[in-house]
């Protein structure tokens, strides 16, 4: 997805939001904002540059200015604790569901509500805890006639994680997919970027759903996608790209960052993604909602 005019305002506002997290001196915040705006101006007209590309550079600028490897560590820790406490609700929802695949898509999409700093989208941990049951039953904008047979028809799945916190629900979904006979490659981030889930977050989540150290874990392979927002074909390692381009795998791409990045090249024949790709997220901003053809705020599970 190419940046829209709203994306430019959002990227700059998000930079200020993160400067307030990572930096204390106002002048240092100005330097970081100036550097990011210069980078945005320099590369905005280049082909294939999604909002995720600019977001990744924003994170690197903030790390350089702050000297902190993971400015979002505390937010991620808090998100993980909130999600861990809500896992029983996911178990109960899934157990009562008549359509198990729909239940998994709902759990995965509802979990993507856990996001901070998106322009026009307010998230609060306490409200999320109180309304999680309602969130699971919200309208799901999905092409069920395509998503259901796609999941049933594939034995191998590449599952791209997004945020910390929601990775606990991802671990639950992955466990249930394995119980259905799937082999799953899971791709968290190889290092801190934004509030995205890392390998360490995934392992904690897998332990919380009793997946780690169980016999089911033998059907899981962890292959990080890199330390970028979404997927960067330039920076991803060979092992990830081999799985990503393997047409035996159904790709479940969680979160708006993965949508922003992958939608830019999903039609390229070299990767053969169309016909084996499902985007799952909450459409938290208007540019993404209009790009994928849903209303802002909706839960989404779209087979491409």
CATH at residue 151: 3.40.50.10880
User: DSSP code of 300?
Assistant: E
Q: Answer yes or no: do 52 and 138 share one domain.
A: no
What pLDDT does residue 193 have? 96
Query: Can you point out the beta strands (E) in the chain?
Result: 140-142, 156-160, 183-187, 220-222, 249-254, 277-282, 299-303
Confidence class for position 239, pLDDT limits 50, 70, 90 = very high
Comparing 72 with 123, which gets the higher pLDDT?
Answer: 72
By the 10 Å C-beta count (0-12 exposed, 13-18 middle, 19+ buried), 123 is classed as: middle
> Do 203 and 112 fall into the same domain?
yes
Tokens of 178: 């394995």
Provide the residue range defining the domain that includes 281. 73-303
Co-location of 161 and 12 in the same domain:
no
- One domain for residues 12 and 117: no
The DSSP call for residue 69 is: S
Q: Do 35 and 113 fall within a single domain?
A: no
DSSP sequence for 117-175:
S-TT----HHHHHHHHHHHHTS-EEE-HHHHHHHHHT-SEEEEE--BTTHHHHHHHHHH
Answer yes or no: do 99 and 53 share one domain.
Answer: no
Boundary residue ending a domain (66, 99, 115): 66
If asked whether residues 28 and 169 sit together in one domain, one would say no
CB atoms within 10 A of CB 208: 17
- Per-residue pLDDT, 231: 97
CATH number at residue 34: 1.10.8
- Edge-to-edge order in the sheet of strand 277-282: 140-142, 299-303, 277-282, 249-254, 156-160, 183-187, 220-222
Residue 212 scores a pLDDT above 80? yes
Whether residues 270 and 132 share a domain: the answer is yes
| pLDDT for residue 122 | 72
What predicted TM-score, i.e. pTM, was given to this entire model? 0.96
Do 33 and 176 fall into the same domain? no
Whether residue 270 sits in one domain with residue 160:
yes
Tally of domains in the chain: 2
Q: Give CA–CA dist 256/292, Å, rounded.
A: 11
291 and 228 assigned to the same domain: yes
Residue 105 pLDDT exceeds 90: yes
For residue 156, list its beta bridge partners: 183, 249
Q: Is the pLDDT of residue 120 over 80?
A: no
Buried b (16+ CB within 10 A) or exposed e, 60-92: ebbbebbeeebbbeebbeebbebbeebbebbee
- Note the residue count of the chain: 304
Q: Among 23, 50, 66, which residue terminates a domain?
A: 66
Question: Would you state the pLDDT for residue 287?
Answer: 96
Q: Are residues 212 and 112 in the same domain?
A: yes
Alpha carbon distance 162, 179 (integer Å): 22
Contact 299, 139 (CB under 8 A): yes
């Amino acid at each position: 997805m190419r940046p829209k005019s709203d994306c430019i305002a959002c990227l700059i506002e998000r930079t200020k939001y993160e400067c307030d997290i990572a930096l204390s001196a106002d002048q240092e915040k100005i330097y970081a904002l100036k550097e990011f705006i210069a980078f945005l101006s320099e590369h905005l007209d280049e082909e294939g540059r999604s909002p995720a590309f600019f977001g990744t550079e924003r994170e690197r600028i903030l790390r350089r200015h702050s000297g902190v490897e993971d400015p979002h560590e505390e937010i991620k820790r808090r998100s993980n604790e909130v999600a861990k406490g809500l896992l029983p609700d996911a178990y109960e929802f899934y157990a009562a569901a008549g359509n198990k695949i729909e239940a998994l898509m709902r759990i995965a999409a509802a979990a993507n509500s856990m996001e901070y700093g998106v322009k026009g989208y307010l998230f609060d941990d306490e409200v999320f805890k109180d309304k999680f049951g309602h969130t699971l039953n919200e309208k799901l904008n999905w092409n069920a006639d395509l998503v259901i047979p796609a999941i049933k028809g594939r034995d191998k799945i590449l599952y791209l994680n997004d945020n910390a916190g929601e990775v606990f629900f991802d671990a639950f979904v992955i466990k249930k997919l394995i119980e259905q006979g799937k082999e799953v490659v899971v791709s968290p981030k190889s290092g801190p970027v934004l509030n995205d889930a890392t390998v360490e977050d995934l392992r904690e989540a897998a332990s919380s759903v009793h997946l780690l150290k169980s016999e089911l874990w033998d059907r899981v392979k962890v292959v990080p996608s890199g330390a970028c927002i979404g997927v960067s074909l330039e920076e991803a390692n060979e092992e990830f790209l081999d799985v990503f381009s393997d047409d035996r795998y159904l790709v479940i791409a969680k979160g708006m960052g993965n949508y922003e990045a992958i939608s830019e090249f999903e039609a390229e024949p070299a990767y053969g993604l169309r016909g084996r790709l499902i985007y799952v997220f909450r459409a938290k901003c208007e540019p993404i909602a209009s790009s994928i053809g849903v209303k802002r705020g909706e839960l989404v599970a779209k087979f491409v």
